[in-house]
């Protein structure tokens, strides 16, 4: 590994976070998964305790009623993050927003397209509520933001790269405060059909539908919806209540054999992990745990395991994934993985998966430094180093 050259940087702290997903009110400490049966498959539907808040939000104004579900999920998560950060109105109004979403407002888009095919006249708001940036624009409108906003779409790594651009924005000094993360609401017939065509959505085991890193004869990918956003602050010292230090990230890209393929040796993920360690002046031994991308697919899990074992010479730290519990939220998945890492760094309870050959996880384990992986179709990967606030 080459010597690091990027350690003299501003410190970026997570001072607030919000998330909505299939995760039940009991959270990560309750044994078992939170996935919902759907025929012979499972889905990661929004946990029931969030539905009243979602309905209230949707019906609050005419603008909210027109928003896609992905935008509404993003707003719920953003409001939580802002409330926890306790930013002043002035700090919030000028706060930039970087949001990742792979599918964008696919629910609105599919509904509008169905209307178009039947000859119905489309309402004037169709175009602005179906554009890929609709969720970022909706969150900014809801919060009353006047700073820069940007939407990021890079398949399942979308949120990871939105956070990366946000982190670089803070490093540039353009702002001291920033909101970043991801949102996705892909539980539609059209999205599911595409994943079936790829061979990713197959019949699920009812006990453990998604089984990252376990030997398997078929893919155990589970499609899910959710959002997670983080209030980030660049400062010389952490503020009271800071949740974690977002140390830095690395990236890698591989030339895959097809748009949906992954290098069998995990080339891009290996580059991303190594680059993340270099940029943060960390060694592999400094990492206490890894929250892997690990979508529960045969090829994806195997490639990531090879890349991890290569970097840690076959003896990596404890490894887990968020997807066995809440499913794969596509472009929002990296943000929800990061939320799990923040939970672990703060001593949150974690009941690991119990399926056969699940990666071992120590009892009463509290890591101090975690690596978070994300990758997706097209061969782009991103890895984050995040640590506890000392």
Provide CB contacts within 8 A for 140, sequence distance 6+.
97, 149
Over range 211-233, report the average pLDDT. Answer: 96
Taking the alpha carbons at both ends of the chain, their separation in whole angstroms is: 27
| pLDDT tier at 278, thresholds 50, 70, 90 | very high
- pLDDT at residue number 202: 87
- pLDDT tens profile 61-105: 999 999 999 999 999 999 999 999 999 988 888 899 999 999 999
- Write out the DSSP string of 168-216: HHHHHTS-SEEEEEEEE---SHHHHHHHHHTT---PPPSS-S--TTS--
| pLDDT tier at 259, thresholds 50, 70, 90 | confident
| pLDDT tier at 6, thresholds 50, 70, 90 | low
Please check the confidence at residue 1 and state whether its pLDDT lies above 80: no
Q: Percentage of residues in the chain with pLDDT exceeding 90?
A: 88
140 vs 93: which has the higher pLDDT: 140
Please name which of 208, 191, 169 lies closest in space to residue 70, comparing C-alpha atoms: 191
- pLDDT tens profile 29-71: 999 999 999 988 999 999 999 999 999 999 999 999 999 999 9
Q: Percentage of residues in the chain with pLDDT exceeding 70?
A: 98
Q: For residue 94, what are its two tokens?
A: 């000028």
Mean pLDDT of the chain: 94
Over range 185-209, report the average pLDDT. Answer: 92
Q: For residue 192, what are its two tokens?
A: 């599911």
Q: Indicate yes or no: pTM above 0.75.
A: yes
Q: What CATH number should be reported for the domain whose range is 11-387?
A: 3.40.47.10
CA 260 – CA 318 distance, rounded (Å)? 28
- pLDDT tens profile 153-168: 999 999 999 999 999 9
Please check the confidence at residue 5 and state whether its pLDDT lies above 60: no
Note whether 51 and 20 are within 8 A (CB).
no
Please name which of 84, 87, 75 lies closest in space to residue 142, comparing C-alpha atoms: 75
CA angle 341, 142, 127 (to 5 degrees): 105
Please name which of 159, 27, 161, 147 lies closest in space to residue 95, comparing C-alpha atoms: 147
């Amino acid at each position: 590994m080459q010597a690091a050259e990027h350690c003299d940087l501003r410190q970026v702290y997570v001072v607030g976070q919000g998330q909505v997903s299939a995760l039940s009110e009991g959270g990560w400490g309750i044994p078992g998964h939170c996935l919902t049966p759907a025929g012979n498959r499972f889905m990661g539907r929004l946990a029931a305790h969030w539905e009243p808040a979602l309905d209230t939000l949707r019906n609050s104004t005419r603008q909210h009623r027109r928003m896609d579900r992905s935008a509404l999920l993003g707003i719920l998560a953003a409001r939580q993050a802002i409330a926890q950060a306790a930013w002043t109105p002035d700090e919030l109004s000028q706060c930039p927003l970087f949001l990742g979403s792979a599918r964008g407002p696919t629910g609105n888009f599919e509904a509008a397209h169905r209307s178009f095919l039947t000859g119905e006249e489309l309402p004037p708001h169709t175009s602005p509520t179906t554009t890929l940036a609709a969720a970022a624009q909706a969150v900014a409108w809801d919060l009353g933001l006047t700073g820069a906003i940007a939407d990021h779409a890079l398949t399942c790594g979308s949120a990871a790269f939105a956070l990366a651009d946000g982190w670089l924005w803070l490093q540039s000094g353009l702002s001291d405060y920033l909101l970043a993360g991801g949102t996705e609401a892909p539980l539609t017939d059209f999205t599911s059909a595409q994943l079936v065509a790829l061979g990713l959505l197959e019949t699920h085991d009812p006990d453990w539908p998604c089984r990252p890193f376990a030997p398997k004869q078929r893919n155990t990918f589970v499609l899910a919806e959710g959002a997670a956003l983080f209030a980030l602050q660049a400062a010389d010292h952490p503020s009271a209540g800071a949740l974690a230090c977002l140390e830095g990230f690395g990236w890698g890209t591989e030339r895959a054999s097809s748009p949906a393929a992954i290098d069998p040796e995990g080339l891009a993920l290996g580059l991303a992990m190594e680059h993340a360690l270099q940029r943060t002046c960390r060694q592999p031994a400094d990492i206490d745990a890894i929250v892997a991308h690990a979508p529960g697919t045969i090829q994806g899990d195997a490639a990531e395991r090879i890349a991890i074992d290569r970097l840690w010479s076959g003896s990596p730290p404890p490894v887990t994934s968020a997807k066995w519990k809440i499913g794969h939220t596509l472009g929002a998945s990296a943000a929800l993985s990061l939320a799990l890492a923040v939970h672990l760094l703060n001593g949150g309870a974690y009941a690991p998966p119990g399926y056969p050959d699940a990666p071992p996880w120590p009892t009463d384990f509290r890591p101090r430094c975690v690596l978070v992986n994300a990758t997706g179709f097209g061969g782009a990967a991103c890895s984050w180093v995040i640590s506890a606030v000392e």
